[in-house]
Structure 1
Amino acid sequence: MIRILLADDEAMIRAGIRAILATDPTLDVVAEAGDGRQAVDLAIRHLPDVVLLDIRMPRLDGLGAAAEIRRVAPETAVVMLTTFGEDDYIAKALDVGAAGFLLKSGDPRELIAGIHAVAEGAAYLSPKVAQRVIAQLAGGRMARGAQARDRIEGLTEREREVLALLGAGLSNAEIAARMHIVEGTVKAYVSAILTRLDVRNRVQAAIIAHEAGLVA
């Protein structure tokens, strides 16, 4: 069962999202918050697997709440759920450690797929958000490619293999199965990779993997 904390300042939006999640018997909304500060408090209390955060909320916005939750509950995955798809929101969400970014206007199936992905240790961007990220990567790709290759120079061959699979979107369990190692070892590799690359989350590491040419 995937335990979820839902945070949005609009009760009707929360009800709609809760109804979508109820269609999947493996998802359980354990708490709801109407503002960012309450979301942080409830995350500490319940330690959910996934927190769904709206970006614009009173007292503490979703980006601020995401940063705090990642600090006090690092095992909890954060997914930003918003009506806003501007590039600055996407960049800030990834920078504070969000593992996923979904638009409220997207297909409800994306919401369920995204929750399962981040709960399994992968990252998830809605197709529209992914298009924006890819478009940003397209500009100045050669320069960034050289920088990315320099950044992965310090990785071991095994770490590069893990990074390539991470960049391909595989979860920790899928990487473990592919490499014939236990999932705990994969988690250790991922943690070391994030530290060596000086990035905060899997999405940023995956981008470097693509820029460095580790992923087709």
Structure 2
Amino acid sequence: MSHCSPIRVAVVDGQPIFARGLELLLPAATDGRAQVVGFTADAAAAASLVRRCVPDLALVDLHMPAPGGIRAVAAIRRTTPQVRIVAMSDAEDLSSPLQALEAGAEAYMPKSAEPEKLLPPLLAVLDGWAVMPTQLLSTLLRPARFPPVSLDEAERALLRSIAAGRSTLEIADQMHVSDRTVKRMSAALLRKLRVSNRAQAAALAGHAGLLDD
């Protein structure tokens, strides 16, 4: 996608001071290339906030009061599937990030990240890449998390393209089919892999032997 216009970011976080800090620091740290367009400290209001302010990205704190960040991720994914979701947390436990990816987040970043360091991963997420710390990726790639899957040649080619971070239009051009066909094939592939989004498919692509020729 084009990044000429500012990246619109919605923040769902139980700490208003964190969101306020992002609102002030993110535009300055990114030379105006990213801006906060909406904020809520209520996880139950996350989906309605995102529908209202139409962001490109939603940053969701995983450790919020009930119904919690995981439910907020799931609600946003269900109601506004075009929005990219970045889960964030200041905890070291990896169970919540894994649950967030399963609920529909495309990425996970620790809240310790400085505002000026946020732009590259946010741009990568918008381009379809899965962004997460190495430790979390290693956990995702453990063979026990994924049952053996048999893929045909077309499915392997599609999975390679997804793992490479190519957009739907790029894959359609490469395969000489319509973008609608790519979306249909991708949805079928995700179901077969028993994952819910491209981030999980990209992680699964690194599982031993899955992409071997």
The reply to whether TM is greater than 0.5 is: yes
* 1:170 shift after superposition: 4.0
Match of 1:197 in 2: 193
Distance of aligned partners of 1:8 and 1:215 in 2 relative to their CA distance in 1, 3 Å threshold: farther
The reply on whether 1:19 has 2:24 as its aligned counterpart is yes
3-state SS in 1 of match to 2:204? helix
Size of the alignment, in residue pairs? 205
Measured in 2, the distance between the counterparts of 1:188 and 1:64 equals 26
TM-score (norm: length of structure 1):
0.79
* TM-superposed deviation, 1:67: 0.7
Identify the structure with the greater helix proportion. 1
Q: Which whole-Å CA distance do the structure 2 matches of 1:190 and 1:60 have between them?
A: 31
- 1:76 shift after superposition: 1.3
Q: Which residue type is aligned with residue 81 of structure 2?
A: P
Quote the offset at 1:62 in angstroms.
Answer: 0.9
Gaps of 5+ in 1: none
CA–CA distance in 2 between the matches of 1:38 and 1:6? Answer: 11
Distance 1:25 1:174 in 2: 28
User: 1:7 is matched with which residue?
Assistant: 12
**Sequence identity percentage:** 34
Are the aligned partners of 2:86 and 2:109 in contact in 1 as well (CA < 8 Å)? yes
Deviations 1:47-98 (A, max 9, x none): 3221111112234311110111111111111111111131211211111111
RMSD: 2.8
For the residues of structure 1 that align with 2:211 and 2:72, how far apart are their CA atoms? 33
CA distance 1:9–1:136, change in 2 (3 Å):
closer
Aligned equivalent of 1:132, options 129, 136, 144: 136
How does 1:69-148 map onto structure 2 within 5 Å? 69-125=76-132, 129-135=133-139, 137=141, 141=143, 147-148=147-148
Determine if contact 1:7/1:53 at 8 Å carries over to the other structure.
Answer: yes
Q: TM-score, normalised by structure 2?
A: 0.80
SS across alignment from 1:124: coil
Deviation at 1:99, TM superposition (A): 0.4
Q: What residue identity is the alignment partner of 2:14?
A: D
Mapped to 2, the partners of 1:18 and 1:31 lie a distance apart of 9
Per-residue deviation, 1:25: 2.8
Q: Which amino acid in 2 is paired with 1:166? A: I
For residues 173 and 92 of structure 2, what CA distance do their matches in structure 1 show?
A: 35
Q: Paired residue for 1:168?
A: 164
